[in-house]
Amino acid sequence: MNFWQTIPKPIIGLSPMDGVTDASFRFITAKHGGPDVVFTEFVNVETAFFAPDTLIKDFTYSEIERPIVAQIYGHTPEMFYKVAHIVCELGFDGVDINMGCPAKKVAAKGSGAALILNPSLARSIIQRVYQGVKDWCEGQSLSDLNIDPGFIQKTRIANRLRTGVERPLRRRLIPVSVKTRIGYDQVVVEEWMQTLLEEKPSVISLHGRTLKQGYKGSADWESIARAVDVSRNSGILLLGNGDLQDMQDVYRRISQSKVDGVLLGRSAQGNPWIFRGKEEVKRALSSNGGVSIDPMPIRLEERFRALLEHSSHFEKHWGLQCFVGMRKHLAWYCRGSPRAAELRSQMVQLSNVGEVMDCLRNYAASIASEFQPKERAPSPRPSRSSMASEPLIS
């Protein structure tokens, strides 16, 4: 069954972000926010053959993240064919082809958004991914593809650690999707959409900028709306992406562009709770705006407990030697906190969970002290600070 067809519309999911949506980030977002769908960060198809341990790490996930889609990128159709088998073997719910990354090192090799300039190669890649999924579903194994036996064993270990069994319980056709942009150095959304639609992916996720723009300027939602017109009646879902800061933005963009859903990226950094508002958006759209979609405030205590949980998961998964990669997440969690700049400057120097705990305890103590009622002369009815509260970290 194609899971994309069972999610109540509009779909509100977590966008794949290079260097961000790793196993720890996705776990915390799924647990505390609950997006409709989750994507891995993009993984180079060549990794399976030249750095298999890295691929296993990048494709580690937990059951709480379902439905989860593995995103892959590259420029060699036959490698896509083989990695499609691996994605299926690891039990993912879908496979997504990145045709939108603007990074120079990616585009220079003809991958990511550079595929917009090479429609024939883009179509060939989609076709080979489809064929890989089909052949795996019909019984082809990784050993049939001459994949290293040691790597095959690693996939089985990954499955056993996650589910208790080494192989997926059943072989099934998983949906193929594409994430892309509205153009390379200029907007060509109509022509590019027509090319992709010919290969009938289940979903096309469209970021409202060209490769040349990168992440600068404003996302072009008018072009996304034109893409919706092109894809209308095709049976293919279209998701919009770009500059969605909160659920009010989500509601407005879905209402205006008529997309089938959206993917949130940077607004979810340090803020997994943003997805808690998705049901309000769905109700508001179904009732023509008759439901409030104001976000519920997140207490500092809840924010910092999630931060600690995230840090612990990251340290366990990646090891102490990689904890520096957690620092950007720590900084994002500080947004909106009292004396955020001061706290952030401390967070980006931490090297393990113990240091994070100590930092938060010291911060909590300083905040509590700052808001303690000051001594004053006796009076018949002494006042008390309304800001005194339970400790942030116990």
In tens, the pLDDT along 204-249 reads 999 999 999 988 889 999 999 999 999 999 999 999 999 999 999 9
Task: State how far the Cα of 204 lies from the Cα of 197, in Å rounded to an integer.
Answer: 9
Whether residues 65 and 193 fall in one domain: yes
pLDDT the model gives residue 224: 98
Say if residue 294's pLDDT is above 90: no
Altogether, the residues listed in the chain come to a count of 394
Q: How high is the pLDDT of residue 169?
A: 78
Residue 384 has pLDDT above 50, yes or no: no
- CATH code of 29's domain: 3.20.20.70
* Residues of the chain above pLDDT 70, percent: 92
Q: Is 181:102 a contact under the CB 8 Å cutoff?
A: yes
- 167: domain range? 3-286
User: Mean pLDDT, to the nearest integer, of 15-30?
Assistant: 97
- The answer on pLDDT for 68 being more than 70 is yes
Residues 263 and 342 in one domain: no
Residue 389 lies in a domain: no
- Name, in order, each residue with C-beta under 8 angstroms of 86's C-beta and a sequence gap of 6 or more: 48, 55, 59, 142, 147, 155
- 309 located within any domain: yes
pLDDT tier at 378, thresholds 50, 70, 90: low
Rounded Cα distance, 197 and 235, in Å: 10
Same domain, yes or no: 280 and 304: no
Residues 128 and 265 in one domain: yes
Co-location of 276 and 336 in the same domain: no
Q: Once rounded to an integer, what is the mean pLDDT over residues 280-296?
A: 80
Indicate if 132 and 275 belong to the same structural domain.
Answer: yes
Residues 100 and 30 in one domain: yes
Residues 344, 362: Cα–Cα separation, whole Å: 13
Whether residue 394 lies inside any domain: the answer is no
Residues 94 and 168 in one domain: yes
**Six-digit token string for 243:** 């500059």
Q: Specify if 48 maps to a domain.
A: yes
Task: Name the domain count of the chain.
Answer: 2
pTM for this predicted structure: 0.90
Residue-averaged pLDDT of the chain: 91
Is 156 found in the same domain as 242? Answer: yes
